[in-house]
Amino acid sequence: MRYNVLACDYDETLARGGQVPDATIQALELLSRAGIKLLLVTGRELDDLLTVFPHPGLFDLVVAENGGLLHDPHQRTTDTLADPPPTELAERLRDEGVTPLGIGHVVLATREPHDVQVHAAIRDLGLELQVIYNKGAVMVLPPGVNKATGLAAALDRLSLSPHSVVAVGDGENDHAFLHAAECGAAVANALPALKDACDLRLDGENGEGVAELAGMLLAGDLDAVEVPRHHVLLGHRDEEEVRLPPYGVGLLVAGPSGSGKSTVTTALLERLVGDDYQCVVVDPEGDYAEHPGVTVLGDPDRVPGVEEVMHVLEQPDHSVVVNLIGLQLRDRPAYFAELLPRLTGLRARLGHPHWLVVDEAHHLMPAEVRHVPLHEAGDVGALLMITVHPEAVSPDALRLVTCTIAVGKEPADTLAAFATAHGQDRPPTLRPAPAGDLALWHVGDDSAQQLTLAPARIERTRHRRKYAAGTMAKDKSFYFTGPEGRLRLRARNLHTFVELGEGVDDDTWLHHLRQGDYSRWIRDSLGDSDLAQEVAEVEQEGELAPDESRQRVADLIGERYTLPAEPTDFDPDQHGR
């Protein structure tokens, strides 16, 4: 389910003439029993609301005074969210005979045409206040206070995210409120301007419209409603944007090593985190340990506990990287199998996380895994899996894939490998595009389209921490062998490469230097073509003394990678033995 919060305006949305139909109350009760959180968001003063509405306990929280007040009907507590109205303003309007004149904890309210006197008084008294209208009602509030800020306070109190909210309203003061929600709906009697701006127009008026929306929530029909303003930019084709929905998608990014999978993932992750979607990145090799805006749990010497991960994820504004570089390869599927149902349980309870990103999916859900405990990608919001080998991923995980991104020089081969592993009769035909650097296939379509990735704004050096101080796999490590092949000194990362380079004899150092082995290793195993080019230039300077060339190479590495004072003590070849 995409939404687990319904936020309702009161007057002329939930209620007509101040009264809520019994059928609407019953629809809300069904939602509450189904675990949907209910929020009432109104411009009314709280005492006024409680006088006309006998069912405040139906709602988990009430936002009153147009965002100025937060009331818990169960604890019977009330908190002001802004400063009270200035006494001098109330006195002046009262002296001028303005009526009605309501003075709440935060709001000062009247009706048109008294807005003329309100504006004049604010100007004459030199006050910094805002005037908000709602179908003839005139509300005076501190700057920046509105239904959207009140909604945010209520969600924060409940550890919920606006990306889990559908909101419904009818008037001018509902614009910000509906825009702040993942989906904004308007009842049939709403103002034309609100209908034009909302994401969903309901057929029913007032409470009937709210009951209609409640029925869509319970049936799951609301999940299928497209909300294009939230779609995530992937790239461009023929100067047109190509975007992905933020919910329900099962995305597989596949391609050879060094082909750009991390580049695609980083770009999507940057935009998702920037839009406040809570992401969980399960990172077996420490590739995302430096991604900005996320909380990183785990390092080469410590595997994060599942309870630790869940504790951080309770707050929806914390995206998390679960760094499993300290966990042996054979133990990773079991860890993931323990984590995954906890994530689905958290989402069922709180509506987040919103995206699960699984790097090296063939390590965490290998082909031998027969069952992945997800009915669909929407059980975790949305799913992004990254792999070199689609055929090495569990078939039960591949069934969750709704679209595939193929990167590298031969995207058609990657799509064919996925299609075979997915049980498709034939791979899609590829629609090429000038300068296209990836191919997107919506599973089931006859063709895939090439497009150009919209890059991330941040510059990210791939695998920076792992390459600098972690432990690279045996086939990715550098080996000092010497001219006669008598040595086999393994550099497991850049730190040990620099240390070993300083310690080997001159003949061994120069043997590899003159063969271009250093730049080849950096280019092929680290995927850092810029550093490889700079090291290659040193290799080609034949007159350099051994110590000078050692220092030059070490300096070039130090400029790009922060090397630790001491290397990590984690060794996947020895750890756990």
368-421 residue pLDDT tens: 999 999 999 999 999 999 999 999 999 999 999 999 999 998 899 999 999 999
How far is it, in rounded angstroms, from Cα 43 to Cα 65? 5
Q: Which domains does the chain have, with CATH numbers?
A: 1-78+145-228 (3.40.50.1000), 82-144 (3.90.1070.10), 231-453 (3.40.50.300), 464-560 (no CATH)
For residue 464, is pLDDT > 80? no
pLDDT, residue 155, reads 97
Q: Give 180-206 pLDDT, tens digit per residue.
A: 999 999 999 999 999 999 999 999 999
DSSP-based three-state secondary structure for 138: strand
Model pLDDT, residue 285:
85
User: What mean pLDDT do residues 240-251 have?
Assistant: 96
pLDDT value at 562 more than 80: no
Please, which pLDDT band fits residue 466 given cuts at 50, 70 and 90? low
For residues 441 and 443, give the distance between their C-alpha atoms in angstroms, rounded to a whole number: 6
* 62: β partners: 40, 71
Cβ neighbours for 270, distance < 8 A, ≥ 6 positions apart: 291, 292, 293, 456, 457, 458
The better pLDDT of the pair 112, 576 is held by: 112
pLDDT at 568: 42
- Which of 55-64, 229-238, 481-490 comes out lowest in average pLDDT? 481-490
Residue 573: closest CA among 443, 475, 452, 427: 475
CA gap 272, 246 in Å, rounded: 8
Model confidence band, residue 542 (pLDDT cutoffs 50, 70, 90): confident
Strand duo 183-186 + 165-169: pairing: parallel
Predicted local confidence at residue 576, as pLDDT: 38
**CB distance 233 to 454 below 8 Å:** yes
Q: What is the mean pLDDT of residues 507-516?
A: 94
d(CA 463, CA 381): 27
Asked whether the predicted pLDDT for residue 8 surpasses 80, the reply is yes
Span 9-25, pLDDT tens digits: 999 999 999 999 999 99
CA separation for the pair 517, 535 (Å, rounded): 10
Q: 305-333: per-residue pLDDT in tens?
A: 999 999 999 999 999 999 998 899 899 99
Could you tell me what percent of the chain has a pLDDT over 90?
79
Check pLDDT > 70 for residue 50.
yes
The whole-number average pLDDT for the span 348-362 is 96
Helix 332-350 with 306-313: angle, nearest 10 deg? 30
Q: Is the pLDDT of residue 490 over 80?
A: yes
pLDDT at 111 over 90: yes
First and final C-alpha spacing in the chain: 44
- Is residue 9 a contact partner of residue 59, using CB atoms and an 8 Å limit? no
Q: How confident is the model at residue 457 (pLDDT cuts 50, 70, 90)?
A: confident
477 vs 491: CA distance, rounded Å: 6
Run of H or E residues at 555: helix 546-560
428 — pLDDT class (breaks 50, 70, 90): confident
Please tell me the predicted confidence (pLDDT) of residue 321. 96
Residue 473 has pLDDT above 80, yes or no: no
Q: What is the largest CA-CA distance in the chain?
A: 102
**What is the mean pLDDT of the segment spanning 21-33?**
96
CA distance 534 to 519: 8
In angstroms, the CA 7 to CA 533 distance is: 57
Residues 6+ apart with CB under 8 A from 157: 61, 70, 72
Cβ burial, residue 88 (10 Å; 0-12/13-18/19+): exposed
Q: What is the mean pLDDT of residues 487-506?
A: 91
* Mean pLDDT calculated for residue range 351-378: 95
pLDDT for 351: 95
Residues in the chain: 577
Mean pLDDT, range 240-245, rounded to an integer: 95
Q: How far is Cα 390 from Cα 420, in angstroms, rounded to an integer?
A: 9
What is d(CA 14, CA 28) in angstroms, rounded to the nearest whole number?
10
At 549 the three-state DSSP class reads helix
> Which of 361, 439, 408 has its CA nearest to residue 256?
408
Higher pLDDT, 434 or 15: 15
Q: Residue 572: what pLDDT?
A: 39
- 3-state secondary structure (DSSP) of residue 485: coil
| Residue of 469, 465, 437, 466 whose CA lies nearest to 450 | 437
Q: In angstroms, rounded to a whole number, what is the distance separating the alpha carbons of residues 194 and 557?
A: 57
Residue 577: pLDDT above 50?
Answer: no
- Say if residue 448's pLDDT is above 90: yes
The lowest-confidence range among 22-26, 202-206, 522-526, 571-575 is 571-575
Where b means 16+ CB within 10 Å and e means fewer, 520-557 reads bbbbebbbbeebbebbeebbeeeebebeebbebbbebb
Per-residue pLDDT, averaged over 469-493, amounts to 84
Cα gap 459→513, rounded to integer Å: 29
Banded model confidence at residue 563, pLDDT cuts 50, 70, 90: low
Please answer whether residues 544 and 535 qualify as being in contact, where contact means their C-beta atoms are separated by less than 8 angstroms: no
Alpha-helical (H) ranges within 515-545 are 517-524, 529-539
Can you give the pLDDT at residue 177? Answer: 94
Identify whether the C-beta of residue 427 lies closer than 8 Å to the C-beta of residue 415.
yes
Mean pLDDT rounded to a whole number for the chain: 91
Measured between alpha carbons, how far is 541 from 519 in angstroms, rounded to an integer? 13
The residue-averaged pLDDT of 163-178 equals 96
Take residue 513 and report the two structure tokens written for it. Answer: 């230097």
Distances (CA, A) of 175 to 151, 181, 187, 194: 13, 10, 13, 7
- Spatial neighbors of 92 by CB under 8 A, at least 6 apart, are 121, 125
Pairing status of strand 232-237 against strand 447-453? antiparallel
* 4 within 8 A of 164, measured Cβ to Cβ: yes
- Is the CB of residue 257 less than 8 Å from the CB of residue 388? yes
Q: Identify the weakest region by mean pLDDT among 249-253, 267-271, 447-451, 540-544.
A: 540-544
Helix, strand or coil for residue 561? coil
The residue among 496, 484, 475, 482 whose CA lies nearest residue 554 is 496
Find the mean pLDDT for residues 507-528: 92
Identify the bridge partners of residue 139 per DSSP, sorted by sequence position: 109, 132
Q: What is the DSSP letter of 191?
A: -
Backbone angles phi, psi at 261, to 5 degrees: -60, -45
Average pLDDT over residues 512-539: 92
